[in-house]
Amino acid sequence: MDRNIQRMARFFADSPCKLRPHFKAHKTPEIARRQLAAGSVTGLTCATVSEAEVGVTLTNDILIANEIIGPAKCDRVAALARGRSITIAADSIAGLEQMGAAATRAGVTVGILVDVNVGQNRCGVAPGEEALTLARRVAATGGLRLRGVMGYEGHLQPVFDRGEREARARQAMEALVRTAHLLEEHGLPCDTVSAGGTGTHDITGRVAGVTEVQAGSYVLMDADYARLELPFEQALFVLGTVVSRPVPERCVADCGHKATTKDHGNPCVDGVEGASVVSLNDEHATIALPPGAAIAIGDRIRLRPSHIDPTMNLHDVVYALDGDRVIDTWPVAARGYPEQRSL
């Protein structure tokens, strides 16, 4: 993990574009502290208000790269903005009005990035005129300050072929940077152009005009990202115990999908040549074993999660290792869904 942090910091060290590590990947203050200390960062990216509430204990510059809707959540964001730089993404007039009203009530200013759809087809307005129209609305809404644009090319992160990933990410970023220029041509401030993730950090991060990259997974990596040739190492493992070996070619460990998620496929087995997870149930990982595998009931088995973000969200703590030695226990302090309290 420390090597991943250093490698990413070095990549952005001499670049006008900086890193804004995504806190949602791990929700763990001790990891974020190390990311911030490594330098080349603008602040933290968060996905939820509750992450931001923990994030402000680590930095005064937070981007919630997400739409924030509902007066209760908007009030919580406004409360965080007192004396800090808090920015959210927005793609609707309704969202701007709600955030503007909350900021005005609290007597603070909340930053806005106009969320631009660069092809992921999740949130975001269309690049160009539609983004300009919303940006004008930001500028005209009390309590808000236009900081720029955001365009997350999430659909391109897992594209296996490097050439294709590069060509499509450049095209997506062209639309985003063109939109930023359009805003500036109309006298609107656009200091921030925020985009990117682990799979495109070294493409998006070198496009002229992009000012920050929101990569998250690079810090711990997962089996899904391991398919791509990225300069980061797997650093998160789920440790289970073999509870059954009913036949020689199969064992079962006590780490099912309540311990490691399967939304990006089954996890991989680490350190047992030829072994693979064939299914995950709530509390069971069923593992196919190669002939003669020396695995006995009671043995520990390490899985490499296929997707770190939701896996981290399942655990109260992580154990920090130096080699095989546990050197610390870190709370996953921003896990869960505490924002539901304000629904």
Q: Which residues bind ligand PLP (CB under 6 A)?
A: 22, 25, 65, 152, 154, 157, 197-199, 214-217
Name beta bridge partners: 321.
326
Q: Which of residues 100 and 205 has its CB atom nearest to ligand PLP in the complex?
A: 205
Q: Which of residues 218 and 237 has its CB atom nearest to ligand PLP in the complex?
A: 218
Q: Which of residues 134 and 159 has its CB atom nearest to ligand PLP in the complex?
A: 159
Pairwise CA distance, residues 215 & 199, whole Å: 8
CB 96 within 8 A of CB 112: yes
Q: Which of residues 217 and 266 has its CB atom nearest to ligand PLP in the complex?
A: 217
Q: How far is the CB of 287 from ligand PLP (least distance, A)?
A: 27
Q: How far is the CB of 202 from ligand PLP (least distance, A)?
A: 12
Q: Which of residues 157 and 179 has its CB atom nearest to ligand PLP in the complex?
A: 157
DSSP tag of 218: G
Residue with tokens 């739409």: 67
Q: Which of residues 198 and 211 has its CB atom nearest to ligand PLP in the complex?
A: 198
Q: How far is the CB of 293 from ligand PLP (least distance, A)?
A: 33
| Number of neighbours of residue 315 by Cβ within 10 angstroms | 16
Q: Which two tokens stand for residue 250?
A: 């199969």
Residues 6+ apart with CB under 8 A from 21: 8, 32, 35, 36, 41, 44, 45, 214, 215, 216, 219
Q: How far is the CB of 154 from ligand PLP (least distance, A)?
A: 5
Q: How far is the CB of 296 from ligand PLP (least distance, A)?
A: 37
Distance of CA 184 to the CA centre of its chain: 28
Q: How far is the CB of 251 from ligand PLP (least distance, A)?
A: 31
Question: Which residue has the closest beta carbon to ligand PLP?
Answer: 197
Q: Which two tokens stand for residue 288?
A: 């196919």
Pairwise CA distance, residues 288 & 245, whole Å: 10
Give me the torsion for CA of 179, 156, 195, 111, rounded to 10°. 80
